[in-house]
Amino acid sequence: MISLLGPYAGFILLSYGAAALAAFGLTLWVVLEHRRLKSTLAALEARGLTRRSARAAARLASDVPLETRA
């Protein structure tokens, strides 16, 4: 099989390996960062801090009269 790749088989296989390793590394980094940020956000919300978007939505909901709410 390797002989079918010609004289550059080593370079080709090394390139595929490096690309796969880079893709795996980036995927792992994103997953770990997501977990870290999710736990940080949960800790902040447990301390009573909320997101601005949640406060704005609550403020808008309280400004709308009850008759117009669906």
Query: Average pLDDT over the chain, rounded to whole?
Result: 85
Structure token pair of residue 61? 């909901």
| pLDDT value of position 49 | 82
> How does pLDDT run across 41-69, given as a tens digit for each residue?
999 988 888 777 777 777 777 766 656 55
| Sequence-ordered list of residues with C-beta below 8 angstroms from that of 2, at least 6 positions apart, any chain | 9, 13
**Helix, strand, coil shares, percent, the chain, to 5:** 85, 0, 15
What is the percent of the chain with per-residue pLDDT over 70, rounded to a whole number? 87
| pLDDT value of position 5 | 82
Q: pLDDT-derived band of residue 70, with 50, 70 and 90 as boundaries?
A: low
Task: Provide the Cα torsion 53, 57, 60, 64; round to 10°.
Answer: 170
Total Cβ atoms within 10 A of residue 15: 11
